[in-house]
Amino acid sequence: MDEWTQTLTTGPLLMIAAAAVALLLLLIIRFRVHAFVALTMISLATAFATRIPPDQIVPVLLSGFGDTLSKVALLVGFGAMLGKLVEQSGGAQMLADRMVALFGERRAPFALGLASLFMGFPIFFDAGLVVMLPIIFAVARRLDGPLLLYGLPAAAAFSVMHVFVPPHPGPVSAIDFYNASPGLVLATGVVLAFPMWLISGYLWARIAAGRHPFRVAADLFGEADREAIENPPSLRTVLGLLLIPLVLIFANTALDFGANLGWFDENATWFKLVQLFGNTPVALLISVLAATYMLGWRRGRRPADIERILDSSLPSICSVVLITGAGGMFGGVLKASGIGDALSHSLDDIGLPVIVAVYVVAVALRLAQGSATVALVTASGLMAPAVISGDYSAMQVVAVVFASAAGSVFAGHVNDSGFWLVGRLMGMDVATTLKTWTVQQALESLVGFAMACGLFLLFY
């Protein structure tokens, strides 16, 4: 996009943003306009209202849409294929039965969330959720319980790990901006992640499931005919297939983290190859190929049957991908218009205590443009001079990192592509997603900020 100067001040920009969100919700909830159409319309109208030059509006829309699709489309597509193969082979149901037998029916939601916490260390939020979904759906069917009771703890676990714990990009950037100790942030993040998830994920899921007790209906992976499955795959085979992307992605993120600390030569050929195979879309593609062999060809399925299974996984995700991309488009317009920058600069000189100021700035950026990673990186960059110039202990700087991270996850709503991903993958409409996932994100933020403040005061 060519350079241009925003002439509107903070007040009008914030009014436009609030009106855009309100109109979007009205179109989708009250008038039942399809979310993809409504998001595109509102993105276009917001671009006009914020005075983005007419010749740059379409490039801005396409940039936001394309950037989001480049991160989401391949991993959701390959993840749906992997899930379909695991489901149709009987592997998901077998895992669900084993998990219920091991942990019991009452502890199954806790077990799913705990497993997601471990998976969330190396794998990004959206990829991890897609990989876990067939297991979540199978357990929910097996126990005939409300989907949110099993799905929300897992989604919250991936969110906590992605936002607060390195080597994910947001906290790594905050560490760099604030000159924090990577080891201290990692060790503290791992300790705080569990209580944060327990309160905002597991306990909230029990409340949300009671208020919205819908069951698993038609989903991304269909439902395998248990009577037609004569020889389901072994536990070792299914776990091995699900661990392939985790191991590859973990190797990639560990190498990136080590390279930033000077442990590895990032120009070495072996380093670049491991990075390639550990890139999320490539890792999931490798997993699909392995599952095609292990759950298809090796088990005597005809190539035509395997093709049919893989092809049947794609129609149901088209809406998810397009709506998620349109959510990124809306967030891109809000970012390009300068709404986030105007809001953050207006908050920068209020004079709040630093632990509160970094949180408020990150919250404002999150609400204004949607992306938690962008909010965390931008807020850290804005507040870094104040933090670095202050006389803070190493643990207080760690607390500042967590406060920034907590603000960046606050109340994800319609301008966040993750909002649409979670809602559509779990079969929720917009109103239900706001009442469940948006509230979960707000709780996660508040609990994280409370812990950050406690840590800051403890080492004052």
CB 128 within 8 A of CB 75: no
Q: Is residue 311 part of a domain?
A: yes
How far is the C-alpha of 122 from the C-alpha of 252, rounded, in Å?
9
Give residues with Cβ within 8 angstroms of 227, minimum separation 6. Answer: none
Is 172 part of a structural domain of the chain? Answer: no
Question: Are 311 and 447 in a shared domain?
Answer: no
Tell me if 206 is assigned to some domain. Answer: no
Q: CA-CA distance, 320 to 460, in Å (whole number)?
A: 46
Q: Closest by alpha carbon to 346, among 334, 355, 338, 336?
A: 338
- Count the domains in the chain: 3
Say how far apart CA 69 and CA 22 lie, in whole Å: 25
CA-nearest of 141, 98, 125, 122 to 441 is: 125
Give domain status of residue 4, yes or no.
no
The answer to whether residue 185 is domain-embedded is no
Q: Are residues 329 and 428 in the same domain?
A: yes
Please give the Cα distance from 31 to 43 (Å, whole number).
18
Structural domain span for residue 378:
318-458
Give dist(CA 80, CA 173) in Å, integer.
31
Question: Is residue 429, in this structure, part of any structural domain at all?
Answer: yes
Q: How far apart are CA 301 and CA 292, in angstroms?
A: 10
> Are 343 and 447 in the same domain?
yes
What is the chain's pLDDT, residue by residue, as a tens digit (460 residues)? 566 787 888 889 888 988 888 888 788 778 888 888 988 999 999 999 999 999 999 999 999 899 878 877 887 788 778 878 887 888 877 777 787 788 888 899 999 998 888 777 656 787 778 878 888 998 898 888 999 999 999 999 999 988 998 767 788 778 878 888 877 888 899 899 999 999 999 999 999 999 999 998 755 555 555 545 667 888 899 889 888 887 887 788 678 778 877 888 888 999 999 889 988 789 889 999 999 999 988 888 899 999 998 998 888 678 778 877 887 788 788 778 887 666 656 655 566 788 998 999 889 878 877 778 778 877 787 778 778 878 889 899 999 999 999 999 999 888 888 899 899 889 899 999 999 999 999 999 999 999 999 999 998 7
Q: Give me the helix-helix angle, 91-103 and 125-143, nearest 10°.
A: 70
In-domain check, residue 377:
yes
- pTM of the full predicted structure? 0.76
Listing DSSP states for 290-345 in one string gives: HHHHHHTGGGT--HHHHHHHHHHTSHHHHHHHHHHHHHHHHHHHHHHTTHHHHHHH
Please check whether residues 413 and 442 belong to one and the same domain. Answer: yes
Domain identity same for 269 and 357: no
Residue 197 placed within a domain:
no
Structure tokens at 323: 């709506």
144 φ, ψ (degrees, to nearest 5): 50, 50
DSSP track, 375-403 = HHHHHHHHHHHHHHHS---HHHHHHHHHH
Within 144-268, residue ranges assigned H as helices are 147-164, 169-178, 182-197, 204-211, 235-260
Which residues have CB under 8 Å from 192's CB, separation 6+? 164, 402, 448, 451
Given 317, 343, 375, the domain boundary residue is 317
